[in-house]
A and B are shown apart, each in its own frame.
Chain A
Amino acid sequence: MDNLILDLKKDIVEQLNLQNIKPEDIKEHEPLFIEGLGLDSIDALELILLLQKKYGIKINSAEEGKEVFYSVKTMADFIKANKK
Chain B
Amino acid sequence: MRRVFVTGIGITSSIGFNVKESYGSLCTLHSGIGAIKLLDTKLKDKLPAGEVPATDTQLKERLNIKDKKTYSRTSLLALLAAKEAIDSAKIVPSEEQSPIGLINSTSVGGMDKGEVFYKNYINGESHNSLKNALVYDCGNSTECVADYIGLTGFTSTISTACSSSANAILYATKLIKSGMHEQMVAGGADALALYTINGFNSLMILSDEHCKPYDKQRKGLNLGEGAAYLVLESEEALMKSGKKPLAEIAGYGNACDAYHQTASSAEGLGAGIAMRKALATAGLEAKDISYINVHGTGTLNNDLSEGNAIAELFGTSVPPFSSTKPYTGHTLAAAGAIEAVFSILSLQNQVIFPNLNFKEQMPELDMAPVTTLKQGERLNHILSNSFGFGGNNTSLLFSAC
Contacts and interface: CB of A to CB of B under 8 A. Distances in A.
In the complex they form, whether A and B have CB atoms below 8 Å apart is answered with yes
Interface stretch (B85-93, B126-134, B146-154, B258-266): B258-266
Chain A: interface secondary structure? Answer: helix
A45 B262 contact: no
Nearest to A44: B204
A62 B300 CA distance: 12
A45 B261 contact: no
13 contacts: A40-B260, A41-B260, A41-B263, A42-B203, A42-B261, A42-B262, A45-B202, A45-B203, A45-B204, A48-B204, A49-B202, A61-B204, A62-B204
Interface in B341-355: none
A1 B203 CA distance: 30
Nearest to B220: A61
B131 to A, nearest CB: 34
A45 B260 CA distance: 15
Contacts of B204: 45, 48, 61-62
Interface residues of A, number: 8
Of the listed residues B204, B260, B261, the one surrounded by the most CB atoms of chain A closer than 10 A to its CB is B204
Interface residues of B, number: 7
Interface in A29-84: 40-42, 45, 48-49, 61-62
Contacts of B260: 40-41
Contacts of B262: 42
Nearest to B301: A41
Interface string B249-267: 0000000000011110000
A42 B262 CA distance: 9
A69 to B, nearest CB: 13
Contacts of A42: 203, 261-262
Given A41-B260, A42-B261, A62-B204, 7 more contacts: A40-B260, A42-B203, A45-B202, A45-B203, A48-B204, A49-B202, A61-B204
